[in-house]
Amino acid sequence: MNNKKIEECSIMKRIMLVCAAGMSTSLLVTKMEKAAEAQGLESDIFAVSASEADSKLEDASKPVDVLLLGPQVRFMKNQFETKLASTGIPVDVIDMKDYGMMNGEAVLTTALNLMK
């Protein structure tokens, strides 16, 4: 990562992961936090169940910068894109291989690229 990219990413980033129950993604959150720390990035990465996602997105005191869906809820992508179209919050599905391997670094990179 060059200095310009590090500067762009140095502001606190809030990354929300959405999965079916909010449980299976917690390990991935931990791995992403470690990857962010290793890169010197200030971040707030958290996982919620699909049923909790709306209330988290409505909390204006803690705005979300990017929303990533677990592969098991990929069918919700259009729904979230429509909901968030006016906010500019990017939405994408976590790569199934990265999710399965719990590759926190790769998923973090995906999130950062979506925020550019």
Q: pTM of the entire structure?
A: 0.88
Residue 25 phi, psi (nearest 5): -90, -10
- Catalytic-residue membership of 9: no
Closest CA to 68 of 35, 41, 98, 101: 98
In this predicted structure, the answer to whether residue 10 has a pLDDT above a threshold of 80 is no
Contacts of 13 (CB under 8 A, 6+ apart): 41, 42, 43, 44, 65, 66, 111, 112, 115
pLDDT, tens only, 15-71: 999 999 867 789 999 999 999 999 999 999 999 999 999 999 999 899 999 999 999
Question: So where are the chain's domains?
Answer: 13-115
The CATH homologous superfamily to which domain 13-115 belongs is: Response regulator (3.40.50.2300)
Find the catalytic residue in 9, 16, 19, 89.
19
Q: Rounded to an integer, what is the distance from CA 50 to the centroid of its chain?
A: 13
